Amino acid sequence: MVNEISPGRDLFKTTLAHLATLAALSSVSASASACQDLTLAPGGVVVQVTDGDTVVLHDGRIVRMIGTQAPKLALGREDFDVWPLAEPSQQALSDMVLGKTVQLGFGGERQDRHGRVLAHVMLDTPDGPLWAQQVMVAKGLARVYSFPDNRKCLDLLFAAEGRARVSGLGIWSDPYYSVRLADQPDALLARVGHYELVEGRILKAESRSGRVYFNFGRSWKLDFTAVIEAPALRLFAADGREPLVLDGALVRIRGWVDDRDGPRIEITHPEQIEVLATR
């Protein structure tokens, strides 16, 4: 969900006009046919909905709905603070898929280290497959959450999320999920350990010691920084994307906030960056 930097400098290939088309598509239909890049495989009947992004099939397989992150329930964890709207998210997914037959769509790594299946969930309906991830994101009951080894169909999910966020649907009406400001490092330090969307202008993009740093303030020890390590830089290069051209750009970055010389997010793949304006 990004804009071209300038002619001949093809960092991010999705134009704003294309995004408008995607947004219109997401508002009209959540059909599985909207995402053509997945390999479909038989799934089965959903017998349990653990939360807003995890289901269990009749054969015991646990399916983590890749590409999304729903509000988290405690699920037996002591001293875990349930995220706002976790129960409505679980209920919405239950209403959609529980007891129904689904297909699984694969677009990258198919299993995580916990043995869960990583897949897009397609619900069989009389009108054709319904893409569960897109429905949940469009309702504001999940947000886009991607991985370097699972990057298919994210543009459509970003479009659905953007519409839900602008409309204040679901989680986007709750301050817990607000887009944070990069020029407020103290507020970001209070969100260490949380997955956040952070928006601001890159004061300086620079390459040092095999990494790329996006500095959002003048003090790299205090202000918010995003860093792209060498493995992620290889993904950028493979896509023909040069992160240094984002110097001065207004961006939205999503990821887990940590504290290393001030609040920081590590960028592991290009889709964590949304370019809002180039200058």
Whether 179-277 and 32-173 are alike in CATH topology: the answer is yes
pTM, whole model, 2 decimals? Answer: 0.87
Q: Quote the mean pLDDT of the chain.
A: 89
Q: Taking the domain 179-277, which CATH number applies?
A: 2.40.50.140
Whether 185 shows a pLDDT value over 60: the answer reads yes
Whether 210 shows a pLDDT value over 90: the answer reads yes
The domain defined by 32-173 folds into OB fold (Dihydrolipoamide Acetyltransferase, E2P) (2.40.50)
- Is residue 127 very low, low, confident or very high in pLDDT (cuts 50, 70, 90)? confident
From first CA to last CA, the distance across the chain in angstroms is 17
Whether 28 shows a pLDDT value over 50: the answer reads no
- Is residue 14 very low, low, confident or very high in pLDDT (cuts 50, 70, 90)? very low
**Would you kindly state where each structural domain of the chain is located, as residue ranges?**
32-173, 179-277
Mean pLDDT value across residues 58-71: 98
Q: Check residue 15 and give its pLDDT.
A: 38
Alpha-carbon distance of 244 to 205, in angstroms, equals 6
Q: Shortest CA distance to 202 belongs to which of 245, 266, 248, 255?
A: 248
Q: Check residue 35 and give its pLDDT.
A: 81
